[in-house]
Amino acid sequence: MSPQRRATGPTTAEGKAVSSRNALRHGLTAEPSAGSVAAWFNIILDIPAGAFEEPSSSDPLREATLRLAVAEVRYHRALHALCAHAMAPKSARQAANKVHTEMRTALDHREAVSGGAPPDLATLDYIDKMLEQLEPLAAEAERDRRLQERYLGEARSERRKALRAWCELNALEHQNSRNELKIPPNEH
């Protein structure tokens, strides 16, 4: 059996149930809020603050603007998630930091009390138990970071494509502006 044939995702009902909840864990694949999209839509079209326009795809430029606004919201949401997740109180990174701090405090206290004598069996058992707690937390924190970086990369790519499409449409709309300004094509 080829590797492509084997890599088809979860096959058991339990595995499929777990996989279906993956996107709910962080919300990065959820639809962006209408308010955020509307704000970016108006910013991109340079609409003054008092003249708010509802996002629409009534013409090709507005459709490209709407696509760019959605891409901007997703990009900024993914960027924020990547930066803020490590500091979130219940994140794996914070749990790993807490275990590490507890272990360091206990070791520093043991060193101060023992006066440099070799560690006893109880101290070594304590270190072993703390490391057993720390390893899965560090692995989970790394998985979370990689996942968020992947979503950020996808959002960045979507944003780049939407921006390119918007610029092409916007350039077509203003293609005679160089002639109106009487700027020779070679000068900037």
Which region among 2-6, 62-66, 92-96, 181-185 has the lowest average model confidence (pLDDT)? 181-185
Model-wide pTM > 0.75: no
Q: In the chain, pLDDT over 70 holds for what percent of residues?
A: 81
Query: How high is the pLDDT of residue 184?
Result: 53
Which region among 9-18, 94-103, 126-135 has the lowest average model confidence (pLDDT)? 9-18
For residue 156, the Cα-to-chain-centroid distance in whole angstroms is 10
Q: How confident is the model at residue 163 (pLDDT cuts 50, 70, 90)?
A: very high
Query: How high is the pLDDT of residue 66?
Result: 93
Buried b / exposed e over 158-167, threshold 16 CB at 10 Å, is: bbeebbebbe
Kindly tell me if the per-residue pLDDT of 148 is higher than 60: yes
Kindly tell me if the per-residue pLDDT of 140 is higher than 50: yes
**How far apart (Å, rounded) are the C-alpha atoms in residues 184 and 136?**
63
Query: How high is the pLDDT of residue 142?
Result: 85
Segment 64-82 mean pLDDT: 91
State the chain's mean pLDDT as an integer. 80
Neighbours of 62 (CB within 10 A): 17
Q: How confident is the model at residue 75 (pLDDT cuts 50, 70, 90)?
A: very high
Kindly tell me if the per-residue pLDDT of 181 is higher than 50: no
CA-nearest of 120, 98, 99 to 110 is: 120
